[in-house]
Amino acid sequence: MPKDVPPRWDRRMQQRLARGEAAALGELYDRFASLVHSLAHRVLGDEKAADRITREVFGYIWENPDAYDPKQGSMRSWVARITQGQAVARLRQAELGRGSREELEQKVRSANAAARADYIVTSMPAPLRAALELAYFKRRDYRQAAADLQISEDEARRRLRLGLQLLSTANALPQQDAAQSGYGPREYGTPR
């Protein structure tokens, strides 16, 4: 299935979930389960905890389909936000009392940034992702990436620059006002 989910699909999916169509939940799961699991695993570093978060996220979506507001962004982003919030809450709970508050917050910030970076890379268009993967994993410069991708050097530079600009936002602190109505209870994806 394509990574880019059209807004119309998002609205239709929400309507199907609101009607209680189990097939809709299955389709949503097929499309986003790997995203949910990988984000949860990135934050928690634990396979069983990531499995638990995955079940909880899809359970929340099944029980609260009207919490999604297409005006606030794509369903993919909403699902990722719920996952990240739940995983961070679980991380905070697991780490409570294991060190200073500053150490805990640093660990949470690092896990958040890593999860956001993963989400950004998996969400970016394939041409940008391909250029970044060549540069990062295969240590190609823009000239070598251009040759490998059979594009101009200017286009390779543009793709790398844009991909890196997108990735640089992973370390940005989340907006404090992101707790908008329709995006679940505090423990499901909204900042503390």
Burial 23-57 (b: 16+ CB within 10 A, else e): ebbebbbebbeebbbbbbbbbbeeeebbebbbebb
CA distance 114 to 24: 30
Closest CA to 64 of 192, 185, 190: 185
Token pair 């799961």: residue: 29
**Is it the case that residue 187 has pLDDT exceeding 70?**
no
Give me the mean pLDDT over the 46-55 stretch: 94
Q: pTM score > 0.85 for this model?
A: no
- pLDDT given for residue 129 in this prediction: 85
- pLDDT given for residue 150 in this prediction: 94
| Interval 106-164: pLDDT, tens | 888 888 777 777 778 777 888 888 898 888 888 888 899 999 999 999 999 999 898 88
Question: SS3 string of the chain?
Answer: CCCCCCHHHHHHHHHHHHCCCHHHHHHHHHHHHHHHHHHHHHHHCCHHHHHHHHHHHHHHHHHCHHHCCHHHCCHHHHHHHHHHHHHHHHHHHHHCCCCCHHHHHHHHHHHHHHHHHHHHHHHCCHHHHHHHHHHHHCCCCHHHHHHHHCCCHHHHHHHHHHHHHHHHHHHCCCCCCCCCCCCCCCCCCCCC
CA distance 140 to 148: 9
Give the residue with greater pLDDT, 20 vs 173: 20
Residue 102 CB coordination number (10 Å): 8
- pLDDT given for residue 6 in this prediction: 57
- pLDDT given for residue 173 in this prediction: 53
**Is it the case that residue 188 has pLDDT exceeding 90?**
no
